[in-house]
Amino acid sequence: EAEVAQSPRYKITEKSQAVAFWCDPISGHATLYWYRQILGQGPELLVQFQDESVVDDSQLPKDRFSAERLKGVDSTLKIQPAELGDSAMYLCASSRGQGLETQYFGPGTRLLVL
Amino acid sequence: AQSVAQPEDQVNVAEGNPLTVKCTYSVSGNPYLFWYVQYPNRGLQFLLKYITGDNLVKGSYGFEAEFNKSQTSFHLKKPSALVSDSALYFCAVRDRNSGNTPLVFGKGTRLSVIA
């Protein structure tokens, strides 16, 4: 069964440092999502791609967060500089298309900012 | 704006007993509704979804959910709980009539099945 891959699984960094997370969606999935999940809460969408184009980044803190999906396949989410409040689980999900298509999630990257 | 409420932070049930995890939603149009499960330090796993049609939706691992439009609810149920069902459960909603609005998740309900 195909899965969404993410790396690293865990990341510890100091505030003001740069961090990057990688996601490889299920093959053939055109839509890719990055979510942030704070402990005790549900995931919140940060950015959505359709192929290589950003569809929705309204909740992405653009002063410090950036995301790209250059070839429309894998994607990178970057934080620079990291702040203490960025400590969370970062989840990547993919779906065949937008709308009612089911989203399939990767295992996540747990970030701790010290 | 769309929203989801999961009124119980924690649900405890004895193994073999039926379980219910509650979810209510608010959308301006018609909803797409989803249930996901999350095990410790893992991503979310899809359980089931309601798009249209039969109000009773059957999903993975013996779970089912009933869509109730008048009560704006989509409760998750299982006839006989297993210890391995212990996990965090998330309900999510998307407004079918609002273009490409994002999926909105509830805060989650922690299910504990006691042997």
Task: Reply yes or no on whether the pLDDT at A1 is more than 70.
Answer: no
- Please tell me the predicted confidence (pLDDT) of residue B91: 97
For the stretch A27-59, pLDDT in tens is 999 999 999 999 889 999 999 999 999 999 999
- Least Cα separation, residue A12 to chain B (angstroms): 15
**pLDDT score recorded for residue B37:** 96
Calculate the average pLDDT of chain A: 94
Residues of chain B with C-beta less than 8 angstroms from the C-beta of A4: 43
pLDDT tens-place string over residues B59-80: 999 999 999 999 999 999 999 9
Give the up-direction half-sphere exposure of residue B3: CA atoms within 13 A in the CB hemisphere: 4
Q: CB-based contact (8 Å) between B90 and chain A?
A: yes
When CB atoms are compared, the residue of B46, B90, B102 closest to A48 is B102
Residues in chain A closer than 8 A to B105 (CB atoms):
42-44
- Alpha carbon B115 to chain centroid, angstroms: 23
Q: In chain B, which ranges are E strands?
A: 3-5, 10-14, 19-21, 24-26, 31-38, 44-50, 56-58, 64-68, 73-78, 87-95, 104-105, 109-114
- In the structure encoding, which two tokens stand for residue B86, read together? 């212990």
Q: Note whether B3 and B25 are within 8 A (CB).
A: yes
B107 vs chain A: nearest CA distance in angstroms? 4
Q: What percent of chain A has pLDDT over 70?
A: 99
Alpha carbons A37 and B40: distance in angstroms, whole number: 13
Task: Kindly list the residues of chain A whose beta carbon comes within 8 Å of any beta carbon in chain B.
Answer: 4, 6, 40-45, 48, 55-56, 91, 93, 98-100, 102-108, 110
Residues 61-80 of B with CB under 8 A from A: none
Asked if the Cβ–Cβ distance from A98 to B100 is below 8 Å, we say yes
Contact of B100 with chain A, judged by CB distance below 8 Å, is answered with yes
Looking at the predicted structure, is the pLDDT value of residue A72 above 90?
no
Question: What is the dihedral sign for C-alpha A44, A47, A49, A54?
Answer: positive
pLDDT at A112 over 70: yes
Is the pLDDT assigned to residue A6 strictly greater than 80?
Answer: yes
Average pLDDT of the segment spanning B77-93: 96
pLDDT in tens, B6-42: 999 999 999 999 999 999 999 988 899 999 999 987 8
Is pLDDT above 80 for B97?
no
Q: In what order do the strands lie in the sheet with A5-7?
A: A5-7, A19-24, A75-79, A65-68
